[in-house]
Structure 1
Amino acid sequence: MVIAVVVLAIGTWIGWPREGGPVDPTTQESAGALAPGAQDDFGGPAGTAAENDDTGRPSATEEVDGQPAAGDPAVEVSAEPDFDETAPSEPVEATWDETVRTAARDAAGATITAFAATDRSADDWWSGLEPLLTPQARPVYQDVDPRLVPVTEVTGEPEVTDETSTLLAEVAVPTDIGSYTVLLTRADGAAPWLAEQIRPPEGS
């Protein structure tokens, strides 16, 4: 009886695995398979990229909803800057010659003629005088009442009385109440003469 018990114990010990208890054969067969939803060695879902594309899902290089896929460089299109082709050129050197003197005499004569047109309405009087004045002089003469202007006509040829500066000129203009002095200025040698001041005769 004792011998039978010993033999049975030895047989049981030989058939029992050394570590972890009995081995399930089905466990050994499935040890190399991935469970559903498991990840492969690359950290993504099991299967190749081609297999994923076959499922209908977009690959990494396809567009989604018309937008470039992640990783594609953004394309920026910008128009070339506009260049101002009408930028002012270099100023023209101003000098004195007979052509310049004639232009100064004509500008002064036209200014006094417009200033003396007192028979016109205030609006018409100003419309005739304004273009002949500098931007600085226009606010000074804009509110003048032409009915208070004493001169009525130019009676002689204007004469340049001061040409010290190439950009400034004084011109005397004879009128029916004496000689008016018109101070003219210009921006450069190509710019027109404009009236800066209209000085009445002394004592008038």
Structure 2
Amino acid sequence: MIIFIPTINNFNEKDMETFQAIINRRSIRKYKSEKIEEEKIQSLLRAAMYAPSAMNLQPWHFIVINSEDVINETVKSVSHAEMIKQSGAAILVCGDSSLEKNDSWLIQNCSAAVQNILLAAFDLGLGSCWIAVHGMDEVVKNLKDQFKLPSEIIPIALVAIGYPDEEVKAEERFKMEKVHFNKW
């Protein structure tokens, strides 16, 4: 059996743009001080809401953070999110536990929405960085307090969004030894 495995070096013009985005998108932590157009933010949110979800429950909510004051407060809530001070915007992805009772599925559903945001940002010429939130009890509490989230709304991830001020090269990540067919 011959398997075509797209790598960072074997794309040609006929290849799908989706693979280009998947392979070349990288986390950006340095941003230009350029305002992001409202249309691009709307496109990112639209992409997020087209993510797959268990039983199509779509248990997500999004808080767009683009006010300098709110960005500064958010860095106090999430100390490892310092890069959003440069990025100019961030999106807090939250899950609604009243819609999705299974915590694991809630995280998976919201993570799919995050991935769509990251890929759409790359396509729009924006940089992005997935910032971990869920699983850090103090950070979750800080965000719930800061944004006055209802009890059923759970912060899952924060995504920095902005115009990149660095270029991060893709490296080969495909490792055939991590692939197993039909058994371990």
TM-based fold match above 0.5: no
Flag the structure with higher helix content.
2
Larger radius of gyration: 1
Which TM bucket (shorter chain)? under 0.3
TM-score where L is the length of structure 2: 0.25
